Structure 1
Amino acid sequence: MNRRLGISIYPDHSEFEKDQEYVELAASFGFSRMFISMLEVTEGKEKVSQKFSKIIQVAKDLDYEVILDIAPNIFEELGISYDDLTFFHELGADGIRLDLGFDGNKEAMLTYNPFGLKIELNMSNDVAYLDNILTYQANKPFLYGCHNFYPQEGTALPYDFFVKCSERFKKQGLRTAAFVNSQVGKIGPWNINDGLPTLEEHRHLPIEVQTKHLFATGLIDDVVIGNAYASADELQAMSAIDPYQLHLSIQYVADVNEVETEIVETCQHFRRGDITNQVVRSTEVRKKFSQVSNPAHDNEQLFQRGDIVIGNDDFGKYKNELQVVLEPHKDLRKNKVGCVKEEELVLLDYLLPWSKFKFEAESRN
């Protein structure tokens, strides 16, 4: 399943012109999914229709898929029914997200709506909700899953719980989504906004690290920025991410040499299938560089988790093998060439047997 980047907007808390500018900017960086909150509407059907259809049309002209976040009170406010989704179709939306659930039969029936609207379910509960819906023979291609976001500091999901919830949806082959947090965005659905991530551990991390993490889990297809407006730098950083292969940011040591930077930056790395606890071994590169000298340097310290080391001329057949350190150790036959950025150390857990990975150079110390 293809993976995508998305943004969120809140028309009841923003101005159309600023929303339009943001939507166009994100599209220029390849963003193609939009989450629009309708949880706060209070202006009546006609005004709501005018406001939302206007920005949705902008999004559709830029090839976004648009999902509206709704709750039961919206239907009461607008005088519409779950049994007739014409209103959302006429707005131009591609789907609706059900913030609250029903009995399973209702959700299944909604997936057969005549407009082909996607029905997106709340993923942030570790219960048999999805299983119940599927027993009613839901139309699976029109069924999505999307996690919640959490505006209050300390209230977002812990990682283990996130995994359990996500696996329920992923094992059924459904498209999944989760939210990351812009460090500059101030707009959300409520008057409390400590950021809008799905995972609590993401709340204060750079947005590209959050995004790498969600994609690396293999459980999330669409990564959506929860708050508005993310900066151009944040959008660009997310757009530069390879959603299908982990790229680790490396900070070089001062004495890294030319052959080492070539090994780090130009090679396709993968972890050997017969793994060890001490290091991640990328062994094929040593064959390509077997005849290239690599004098010893930065080889006397205790290597720490996240250090990137390469075998030097004293390492025999293992010369120029690249390793990512998982457990502290010393070995004079290895040169430290750099280290993974501290905030990305969590990503090392996703270097599994045969995992493919690459590096991105940050800087030289």
Structure 2
Amino acid sequence: MKREIGISIYPDHSVFEQDKHYLEKAAKLGYTRLFMSMLEVGNEPTVVKNKFQAIIRVAKENGFEVCLDIAPSIFQQLNISYDQLDFFAELGADVIRLDEGFDGNREAMLTYNPFHLAIELNMSNNVAYLENILSYQANEPFLYGCHNFYPQRGTGLPYDFFVACSQRFKKHGIKTAAFVSSKTGNMGPWSVNDGLPTLEMHRDLPIAVQTKHLFATGLIDVVIIGNAYATDEELAMVAAVNRYKLDLAVLPVEQIQPIEETILRETGHFRRGDISNTVIRSTQVRVKYQDKPNPAHDNKQEFVVGDVVIGNNQFGRYKNELQIVLEAHQDDRKNLVGRIPEEERFLLSFIQPWSKFGLTLQS
């Protein structure tokens, strides 16, 4: 399934011109999903309609698919029927996210709405909610899934639970989404905002690392920045993440040689199928660069987890083979050429036999 990135805005707490500018910046970087919360709507229907229509119009002009987050109570607040989604269609929405569920049959019926609005389900509960809806013969192409975000520190999902919840949706081929958090964004649906990630382990990580992780799991199709407004730098960092292949940052050593930089920048790295516990091996580069000399340097110390090493002239047929260290060891036939930053080293577990991966040199 095609992978996407998205942003969030909160019209009940924001200014239209700032939202418009944010949307236009994000669109230029390739963002295509807009998440907007209607959980906290407090105005009469006409006021709400005018406010949301205006910003959705801008979003659609910039190529966004628009998702509105609603709770069952919103239908009563806006004096609209569960069975008539005219209000949301007139706003210009593409997706309605049900923050809370009904009985399964109602959700299934909603997927057959005449406006072709997709119905997005809350993914952050490991129960047979989706299976119940599917048992009522839901219109599956119009059924999406999206995790919650968690404004309060310490309340985000643990990773194992996130995986279990997500697998329920992925095994049925349902489009999935989850949230990452800006370091600077201070706007969300509620007054408490310690960041807005889905996973608690992401709360203090750089936003690019959060994004890499969600895509690397293979369980999430759409990564959305939960809080507003992300900085220009953060927007660019998320946009630069490879959505289909894990790219790891590398902090180069001072003595790195030109041939080693060339090897690091190769686009065809993959882990050998006959794996080792000690290192991740990318071996095709040694074939491609077998005639290129590579004198020894930075080769006397113990290599530790996350070190990137390349075979030097002393390594015979293994000269110029690239390896990422998984277990500490010493071998003077290898040169230390760089290190994976500490906050990215947990991603090494996603490089499985035959996994393709990239390395990006950091200044």
**Which bracket does the TM-score occupy, shorter chain normalised?**
over 0.9
2:293 alignment partner, SS class: coil
Is 1:67 the counterpart of 2:55? The answer is no
Q: Determine if the alignment matches structure 1 residue 301 to structure 2 residue 301.
A: yes
d(CA) in 1 for partners of 2:80, 2:352: 49
Q: 1:340 aligned to 2:340?
A: yes
**Equivalent residue for 2:359?**
359
**Matches of 1:128 and 1:266 in 2, distance apart?**
44
Q: Aligned equivalents of 2:81 and 2:181: distance in 1?
A: 33
Aligned counterparts, 1:104-143, within 5 A: 104-143=104-143
In structure 1, how many angstroms separate the alpha carbons of the residues matched to 2:140 and 2:158?
Answer: 28
Match of 1:165 in 2: 165
Q: What is the one-letter code of the residue matched to 2:336?
A: K
3-state SS, counterpart of residue 68 of structure 1: strand
The alpha carbon displacement at 1:312 in A equals: 0.7
**Aligned amino acid, residue 231 of structure 1:** T
In 1, the alpha carbon distance for the partners of 2:311 and 2:171 equals 41
| Equivalent position amino acid for 1:66 in 2 | V
Whole-Å separation in 2 of the counterparts to 1:122 and 1:44: 26
Question: What residue identity is the alignment partner of 1:27?
Answer: A
Cα distance in 2 for partners of 1:330, 1:171 equals: 43
Conserved in 2, the CA contact under 8 Å of 1:267 and 1:285?
no
Percent of residue pairs bearing the same amino acid type? 64
Corresponding residue SS for 1:11: coil
Deviation readout 1:280-321 (Å, 9 max, x if unpaired) = 000111001111111111111111111000011111111110
C-alpha offsets along residues 155-199 of structure 1, whole Å, 9 cap, x if unaligned?
000111000000000111010000000000000000100000000
- Give me the whole-angstrom Cα distance separating, in 1, the residues matched to 2:126 and 2:326: 32
- Distance in 2, matches of 1:46 and 1:159, equals 42
Pairwise CA distance, 1:267: 4.0
The amino acid that maps onto 1:89 is A
| TM-score of the pair, normalised by structure 1 | 0.99
Aligned equivalent of 1:144: 144
Q: Given residue 122 of structure 1, which amino acid in structure 2 is its aligned partner?
A: N
Deviation at 1:204, TM superposition (A): 1.0
CA deviations on 1:19-64 (whole Å, 9 max, x unpaired) are 1111111111110000000001111100000000000000001110
- Output the CA distance in 2 between the equivalents of 1:262 and 1:201: 34
Query: Counterparts of 1:269 and 1:331 in 2: how far apart (Å)?
Result: 22
Whole-Å separation in 2 of the counterparts to 1:155 and 1:342: 24
Q: In structure 2, what is the equivalent of residue 43 of structure 1?
A: 43
| Distance (whole Å) between structure 2 residues aligned to residue 243 and residue 329 of structure 1 | 32
What residue identity is the alignment partner of 1:305?
A: V
Give the SS at the match of 1:12: coil
Post-superposition offset of 1:102: 1.1
Whether the aligned pair in 2 keeps the contact of 1:158 and 1:200 (CA below 8 Å) is yes
Aligned counterpart, 1:226 = 226
Amino acid in the other structure paired with 1:165: C
Letter paired with 2:193: N
Which ranges of 4 or more aligned residues in structure 1 deviate by more than 3 Å? none
Unmatched runs of 5 consecutive residues or more in structure 1: none
Q: What amino acid sits opposite 1:100 in the alignment?
A: E
Q: Summarize the alignment of residues 84-99 of structure 1 with structure 2, pairs less than 5 Å apart.
A: 84-99=84-99
- Deviations for 1:88-109, whole angstroms, at most 9, x for unmatched residues? 0000000100000111111111
Partner residue, 1:238: 238
**What amino acid maps onto 2:172 in structure 1?**
Q
Give yes or no for contact 1:33–1:66 (8 Å, CA) kept in 2. yes
Q: What residue in structure 2 maps to residue 275 of structure 1?
A: 275
* RMSD between superposed Cα atoms in Å: 0.6
Distance 1:267 1:71, change over 3 A: closer
- Residue 179 of structure 1 is matched in structure 2 by 179
User: What are the Cα deviations for residues 71-122 of structure 1, in whole angstroms up to 9, with x where unaligned?
Assistant: 0121111000111100000000001000001111111111000000000000
Number of residue equivalences: 363
Q: What corresponds to 1:201 in structure 2?
A: 201
Contact 1:59 1:66 in 2 (8 A): yes
Question: How far apart are residue 266 of structure 1 and its match?
Answer: 2.6
Distance 2:292 2:88 in 1: 63
Give me the whole-angstrom Cα distance separating, in 2, the residues matched to 1:303 and 1:80. 64
| Corresponding residue SS for 2:223 | strand
- Map of 1:12-51 to 2, 5 A cutoff? 12-51=12-51
Paired AA for residue 172 in structure 1:
H
- AA aligned to 1:124 is S
Q: Secondary structure of the equivalent of 1:166?
A: helix
**SS in structure 2 at match of 1:305:** coil
For 1:306-345, list aligned pairs within 5 A: 306-345=306-345
Equivalent residue for 1:9?
Answer: 9
- The AA in structure 1 aligned to 2:143 is L
